[in-house]
C-alpha cells in the first residue's frame, strides 16, 4: 500500500524516518487501521530518554489500547502536540501529520538495523 520506501519499521508497526541524527516515529496505516479510531495518544516529554525496543508511550482507540515502541535509543527532542487535540490524525495521515515523537539518536546505525519497507510488508502480510 502506501508505505514510504525510505522509512524503517518495527514489527510492532512503528515507522522511523531518519533526518541527520534525528529519527521521527509514528505508527503505520496498517496499525492505525487495526486500532480503529484513535482517541488518545500518551507520549513522553521533551528531554526524556527512550531505549530501543522499549515502550515510550501508549495509544488508545475506541476498541483497544496498545503500547508504542521505539526501534532506536536516544533523547526526545519534540513531541506532536497536535495529537492531544486531534488524535484522529494518526488515522487520517499516519505517515505525516500523525507523527508522534522526534528522537536525537545515540547511534544512527540502529536505524539501519530496523526492517525495510519491503521486509515490513512481508512480515505483516500486506
Partner 1 sequence: MLKHTPFYDFHVNAGARLVDYTGWEMPLLYRGIVEEHEQTRNSGSIFDVSHMGRLHFTGKDAAAFLNRVVTRNLADQKVGQSRYSLVCNESGGTMDDVIVSRDEKHWLMVCNASNRQKLVDYFNQTIQTGGLDVTMADQTESTAMVALQGPKVIDKVSAVLPVDIKALKRYHFESTSVMLIKLTVFRSGYTGEDGVEVILPAKVASMAMKMMAGATDRPDASLKPAGLGARDTLRLEAGMPLYGHELGETIDPLSAGLGWAVDLSKDFVGAEALRAIAKNGPKRKLVGLELEGRRIARQDTPILNGKNEAIGVATSGTFGPTVQKSIAMALVDSAYTNEGTMLQADLKGTLIPAKVVKLPFYKRK
Where along the sequence are the contacts to partner 1 (CB under 8 A)?
33, 36-37, 39-40, 42, 60-63, 65, 87, 91
Comparison of 63 and 126: residue with beta carbon closer to partner 1: 63
State how far the Cα of 103 lies from the Cα of 77, in Å rounded to an integer: 6
Q: How far is the CB of 37 from partner 1 (least distance, A)?
A: 4
> In angstroms, what CA-CA distances link 109 with 18, 46, 112?
11, 23, 5
State how far the Cα of 45 lies from the Cα of 84, in Å rounded to an integer: 13
Q: How far is the CB of 42 from partner 1 (least distance, A)?
A: 7
Q: How far is the CB of 38 from partner 1 (least distance, A)?
A: 10
Amino acid at each position: 500500500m502506501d508505505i514510504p520506501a525510505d522509512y524503517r519499521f518495527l514489527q510492532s508497526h512503528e515507522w522511523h524516518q531518519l533526518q541527520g541524527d534525528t529519527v521521527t516515529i509514528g505508527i503505520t496505516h496498517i496499525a492505525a487501521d487495526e486500532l480503529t479510531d484513535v482517541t488518545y495518544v500518551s507520549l513522553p516529554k521533551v528531554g526524556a530518554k527512550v531505549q530501543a525496543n522499549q515502550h515510550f508511550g501508549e495509544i488508545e482507540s475506541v476498541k483497544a489500547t496498545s503500547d508504542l515502541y521505539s526501534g532506536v535509543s536516544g533523547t526526545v527532542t519534540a513531541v506532536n502536540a497536535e495529537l492531544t487535540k486531534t488524535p484522529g490524525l494518526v488515522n487520517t495521515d499516519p505517515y505525516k501529520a500523525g507523527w508522534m515523537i522526534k528522537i536525537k539518536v545515540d547511534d544512527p546505525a540502529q536505524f539501519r538495523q530496523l526492517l525495510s519497507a519491503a521486509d515490513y510488508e512481508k512480515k505483516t502480510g500486506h
